Chains A and B, each alone.
Chain A
Amino acid sequence: MKRFQSLVLGAALLATSALAGCGSNNTAATSQDTTLTVWARGNSVPNDVETILAKKFPEWTIKFQNIPDVEDKLRAALRSKSGLPDVVIMGGSLPSFFQVSDQFLDLSAEAKASDATAASLKAGVTLDGKQMALPTDIGPWGLFYRADAFEALGYPSDPEQVAAKLDSWEAYSKLAEAAAASGKHACDTAAQVYQARLAQKGYAYVQLKDGKEVNIADSPISRDAFLYAGKLAKDKTCANVKPYTPEWNAATTQENLIAFVGPAWEDGILKKAAEKQSGAWRVATVPGGPVATAGSFVTGLAASKFPDAARQLAAYMGGSEFQKAGYLDKGLFPSSKGVFADPEAAKPVPFYNGQDTLGMLAKSATDAPSVYQGSNSTVVSTQFFVAMTDIANTGADPATVYQDLLKTTASK
């Protein structure tokens, strides 16, 4: 009994001393030295980001904070208007910040000087035409496939020839059906195919009219794409596995998935899951034309004490030098055309049997149409995505599902 009590006492002492020592010292900038804080997910910047920035801007003090779920944190900081950084790199939910674009710096001048692809630059422009963000990485889409599996199905294995043979979605359907007949799958989920077809037409459920968003959820583009992909789902032609899930990894590792259309960043999961299939995979252009979706963006905060420095820093992080390091370290697909031409980056990749995938996908990135993302585009897109998964699971009729969906989506 006594032992328990002395344990309690000791613990209490420990807690008091810990409490006393844990207040953090918030060192405020006392001098007029330029001090900038950068927020970003560690995985959307190069490995030694601090060294790179310190080398580039030796006269400034740049504090880099590696922040997971940076969008949530930024939203909370904007609400309480405190602890805001000077520069942020964030992911796909950029359009949801457009309505508070006055809290961000205008990067128009920096955008003019940027060598990023046209579509990716446009994705950082708000409704009222303000360049709120610059792209730091993007997602050009490719048809990832296994050369040996294609040959077994009587298809060519060379990317150029594959692209020529699979030049339309109808041709892709035939391939997917042939693969399914042989017990394999040439698409992961029909929802990805549907999304590719929308992006290919620069469509994201909204349209800009006189500086206002107009809902165009009910559109022939979406309808055609939905019915097309819906058939793949209903007939169980696709593997019905979503990227970034254990199922997708299992389908890939177990060599069930022999091809899929997806954005460049899925190269990261593919290389891990298909580690033992190194050399078998290739990338070709997506059937029906180039596709690219938005990746990450860098923005400056209007609340920054050093707005000019923040703009310069944002411009640098959206530029070719920084993006090249990101591509080489983490495979972040650059938006800067300068990197596409860089021989250090555009080089043979062993996993793809020596194919220059950067050069291949860069063409898609440059030629893809720009997609105007409205503030609700992601939400509506997810609803269609879920519906497509439901079709695959239940075998429901795509046309009926589509009509039902319009009831909720066409009014928003």
Chain B
Amino acid sequence: MTLMTRPRTRPSARQTLKQRSVWTYWREYLAISPFFILFAVFGLFPLVYALYLSTVSWDGLGKMTPVGFDQFIRLFTSGEFQSALSNTVVIFLTAQVPVVVAALGAAALLSSRRLAAKGLYQTLFFLPQVTSIVAVAIVFQSLFSNEYGIINSGLQAVGLDKVPWLSTEWGTRLVVSIMIFWRSFGYFVVIFLSGMSSIPPSLYEAARLDGAGSLRIFRSITIPMIWPTILFVAVTGTISGFQIFTEPQVLTNGLGGPNDSVVTMMFLQVRYMGGTTQTVPTDLGFATAIGWGIFAVLILLAAINARVMGKRRKEAS
């Protein structure tokens, strides 16, 4: 692409890298040190502890019982983690993936210089982000309630049947997905917008003069130019999407919906930590094993992500 004006490889840097002693880079190391120092102080010990905790059974108050690898065997055999994983995947595919794609499109629309009232739109899309989750839960329950919900009243008013939103597995999953979409849309829009502001307006103008249409500009300028941001959203969006918890928790009053249909991996972990409405006996050992299970899934996804995005990047540029 000729539009990519900036060199992304830095040939001179590689040469100097070999010649200088490590100590001459002290400024660089100092600048990135806070993260590693804080992680060493506040992350490492808890991490070791979390390894230990996964070999015991503990309700968080009484005595710990050493159980060896039982918690991991339970993780693989009880079926709870597997069903939580599949719930998570369903919610991820129906909520997180569409919202990122939609937000990318909306950001492209909202960053166009000619659009009137774009400030108003940006603000309105951002509102769900700041609306307290307590209020959001009340609103969504009031909207989707089977008997008393505004949506079902509306459906009946126009002669349609009521939809059993929150009393069926798929209905509940759907409402959770809608809620996630609604809540995180503005978040992704802001991230994409901040990336798009690094694109020099002159690039757009040159392309327009060349007669390129909006779609072509989006594909050939916007996407390649904000590729690092897209990568960032792909990685963090996958991590947060697979750790979804708040929406199912508040929508189902901490119970997990019909047949635990919206119990995600994180929900399951918090449930065993005693943090949701108690439908299982608290066991921090099992909760920790679930935590390691989530970790394994995320690492696997990160590897896949890196491959896919790496390939895309080559295709794009």
Contact = CB atoms under 8 A, between A and B. Distances in A.
A99 B60 CA distance: 11
**A interface secondary structure, majority:** helix
A382 B258 contact: no
A250 B278 CA distance: 26
A390 B148 contact: no
B141 interface: yes
Nearest to B280: A379
A160 B17 CA distance: 92
Given A245-B253, A247-B145, A379 B258 contact: no
A246 B142 contact: yes
Contacts of A245: 141, 253
A240 interface: yes
A393 B147 contact: no
A68 B208 CA distance: 59
B168 interface: yes
A31 interface: no
B258 A394 contact: yes
Interface in A358-405: 376, 378-379, 382-383, 386, 389-390, 392-394
Contact of A393 (B61, B167, B278): B167
Nearest to A376: B281
B277 A251 contact: no
Contact of B138 (A75, A246, A251, A382): A246
B141 A247 contact: yes
Contacts of A379: 278-281
Contact of A250 (B59, B61, B145, B277): B145
Contacts of A112: none
A88 B27 CA distance: 52
Contacts of A41: none
A49 interface: no
Interface string B141-169: 11001111000000000000000100110
Q: How large is the interface on B (under 10, 10 to 19, 20 to 34, 35 or more residues)?
A: 20 to 34
B279 A383 contact: yes
Interface residues of A, number: 30
Contacts of A394: 167-168, 258
Contact of A75 (B61, B141, B145, B259): B61
A79 B278 contact: no
B62 interface: yes
Given A379-B281, A393-B258, A251 B147 contact: yes
B294 interface: no
Interface in B52-70: 59-62
A239 B148 CA distance: 10
With a 10 A CB-CB cut-off, give which of A78, A246, A256, A394 has the most chain B CB atoms: A246
B278 A378 contact: yes
Interface in A159-182: none
B289 interface: no
Contacts of B142: 246, 250
A82 interface: no
B255 interface: yes
**For the complex of A and B, 4 pairs with smallest distance between CB atoms:** A393-B167, A250-B148, A99-B62, A246-B141
Interface of B: 59-62, 138, 141-142, 145-148, 164, 167-168, 253, 255, 258-259, 277-281
